[in-house]
Structure 1
Amino acid sequence: MAQRISQFFEQYVKGIYFPELRFTDILEILIITFLIYQIMVWIKNTKAWMLMRGILALAGFILMAAILQMHTILWLAKEAAAVMAVAAVVVFQPELRRGLEKLGEKQMLTSMLPFDSKERVRFSDETVDGIVRAVFSMSKVKTGALIVVEQLIQLTEYESTGIQMDCLISSQVLINIFEHNTPLHDGAIIVRNDRIVAATCYLPLSDNMELSKDLGTRHRAAVGMSEVSDAMIVVVSEETGGVSVAQGGRLSRNLTEAELRERFHAIQQRKHSKNPANILVEKLKKGRHDDDKKAEK
């Protein structure tokens, strides 16, 4: 029996090459898998999917030409390859930019390294109360509103598209801003900490094909803004009076007052100190402080 097993291995297994697998190889496979998955999700959630289908159809046509030895078509495809590569970059420019913005999000980096050791001041309970009361007051009378609550990623680019402001948040101020036929009612306002920093701001519209067709420009702008930043966007529908929240490219519709307060408290309590790197730095500082105290004694 042992001889048969030995013969089997010599005949079938001996000639097979087993590459040496290192830790870096496993890490490389995981990174490539993650990147491919993110690219697939990105393509699926944007209009790039329709363009990709066109490219795949063209590639299939060229493959058929290669199989059937259609030399003229193959020559044309070869000569046009460089032009097509440049054209793809031009056509996919908005999607490529959005993908790079997502990759470079500060939140992704600060989860590993303490690049920004200064903790940003969070908005107060009075601010939350003012926004929530204003939102549901406008909801009752079907006054449309779009409120962008800034978090870690600064929205200076979008702030510059509107009218600069600098005032404390209150329900009365918000209701007056979004009142019909007032100079500031059109567009979005941007909230930073406890202050309104800009009004009538223009936001990027989402290209997500899965969004409901009954959603208007206001909701698409909210989702679009949440796709390119970590902001929380509150929307009041002018047609139904429904209150929605967009975060991370997702839209939650018809929220109650309690659910909206929960959303605000979730981001309000998200302290910068929860970053593992910052916790380590704080522990090192604490240890050094304790050592200094012991030395003094």
Structure 2
Amino acid sequence: MFSWLGLIQILIIVVLLWVFYRGFIQNTSSERLVRGLLGLALLWGLSFVLSWAHLDLLGTFLHWTALFLSISLVVVFQPELRKFMALMGNIDEWRRIFRAGVQRPRDTKSLDEIVSAVEYMSAKHTGALIVFTGSLDESAIDKPGVAVDATISSELLLTIFFNKTPLHDGAVIIERGRIAYAGAILPLSKNNLNWKYGTRHRAALGMSEVSGATVLVVSEESGEISIAEKGKFTKYDDMKKLRAKLERVLGK
């Protein structure tokens, strides 16, 4: 029997699943895992339908096939499962989803300092790795590095990434609008990358895969500026576009 209340409940569930997909799954390495789970769910459902229709042999066959694939899925997608659970436990992702559209005060001073430092490092081919996060999940990184807790300034960023300093090979972690750590060691991505990408790019991609952080990287070889988010790189040649992107990142 048709029920408006039932229809409303179904719509609410659909909206919640869509928000969850857009917030945690889309354009991440977990997307393949979710597709596999959906296929498995369809297989399970089909096996029950066949059994209900008294096609017992086919139903039993699909049932055991789905069971075997379930076990295989856990083994094959073990890295994706770890990344997915890390994203689920990341407070930044939940904050970003539930605060979407909420306007925040603009920290133009910090933004100016970061853009100025990045532009200079790009021109001078100084390698850099900067992580932007609202709340650092230390389990997502290999080593947090040296605690700094300093106001963002271009001079400090340039000093940290100067190739004669002991911290220049690690990442700077900007947490809640302040430089929280320097010399951090990030997890490396296991994905196959283009030969032109070095350790910094692999670390940037790895951090973006296991957390909700946005990671900026400056190539020491080419001076190219890229931003890694959810396991994907975006290249920035235009400083105005980079500034607009960082403004959104700092406003999360």
TM-score normalised per structure 2: 0.66
Query: Aligned equivalents of 1:193 and 1:149: distance in 2?
Result: 8
Matched with 2:172 is: 189
Q: In structure 2, list runs of 5 or more residues that go unmatched.
A: 37-63
Structure 1 window deviating more from structure 2 (90-99 vs 174-183): it is 90-99
How far off is 1:244 after superposition?
1.2
Q: Does 1:217 align with 2:199?
A: yes
- State the alpha-carbon separation in 2 of the partners of residues 111 and 132 from structure 1: 23
SS at match of 1:253: strand
Structure 1, gaps ≥5 residues long: 1-18, 53-77, 271-297
Structure 1 contact 123–193 (Cα < 8 Å) conserved: no
Q: Could you say if the C-alpha distance between residues 163 and 213 of structure 1 is closer, same or farther in structure 2, counting changes exceeding 3 Å? A: same
The total of aligned residue pairs comes to: 221
Deviation of the 1:32 alpha carbon: 7.6
User: Do the aligned partners of 2:92 and 2:213 also contact (CA within 8 Å) in 1?
Assistant: no
8 Å contact from structure 2 (residues 87, 212) kept in 1: no
In the alignment, does 2:117 pair up with 1:134? Answer: yes
Aligned to 1:284: none
- State the distance in 2 between where 1:192 and 1:37 align: 24
Separation of aligned partners in 2, 1:269 and 1:130: 15
One-letter identity of the residue aligned with 2:124? V
| 1:174 partnered with 2:165 | no
Match of 2:238 among 249, 256, 268: 256
For residues 48-98 of structure 1, give each alpha carbon's deviation from its aligned partner in whole angstroms, at most 9, with x where no partner exists.
78xx8xxxxxxxxxxxxxxxxxxxxxxxxx9xx89x977864564332121
State the match for 1:198 in structure 2. Answer: 181
- Whether contact under 8 Å (1:159, 1:198) holds in the other structure is no
Q: 2:222 aligns with which of 240, 263, 271?
A: 240
1:156 aligns with 2:126: no
Q: CA deviation at 1:241?
A: 0.7
Percent identity, please.
35
The 8 Å contact of residues 145 and 237 in structure 1, kept in 2 or not, is answered as: yes
Map of 2:129 onto structure 1 = 146
Tell me: CA distance 1:31–1:160, structure 2 relative to 1, closer, same or farther (3 Å).
Answer: same
**Alpha-carbon shift at residue 178 of structure 1 (Å):** 1.0
Correspondence for 1:70: none
User: Is 2:81 the partner of 1:99?
Assistant: no
Kept in 2, the 8 Å contact 1:45–1:208? The answer is no
Q: Which has the larger radius of gyration?
A: 1
- Measured against aligned partners, the alpha-carbon deviations of 1:191-230 in whole angstroms (never above 9, x if no partner) come to 1234221111111223445x53422221122122222333
Distance between the aligned counterparts of 2:149 and 2:81, measured in 1?
34
What's the offset of the Cα at 1:236?
A: 0.6
Between 215-224 and 155-164, report the one with greater CA deviation. Answer: 155-164
User: SS of the counterpart of 1:97?
Assistant: helix
2:14, 2:146 → 1: CA distance?
48
1:265 Cα offset (Å): 1.7
1:1-297 paired onto structure 2 within 5 Å: 22=6, 24=9, 45=29, 89=74, 92-106=77-91, 109-110=94-95, 124-151=107-134, 153-157=135-139, 158=141, 160-209=143-192, 211-270=193-252
1:233-258 Cα distance to aligned partner (Å, 9 max, x none): 11110110111112233311143221
Distance 2:128 2:152 in 1: 15
Cα 1:86–1:26 shift into 2, 3 Å? same
Structure 1: distance between partners of 2:188 and 2:248: 26
2-structure distance, mates of 1:112, 1:139: 32
> Match for residue 69 of structure 1?
none
Relative contact order, higher structure (CA 8 A, sep 6+): 2
Q: How far apart, in 1, do the equivalents of 2:234 and 2:77 lie? A: 28
Contact 1:123 1:194 in 2 (8 A): no
CA distance in 1, matches of 2:211, 2:72: 28
TM-score when scaled to structure 1? 0.57
Deviations for 1:142-194, whole angstroms, at most 9, x for unmatched residues?
1110011223x433333853122222222121111111132111111101234
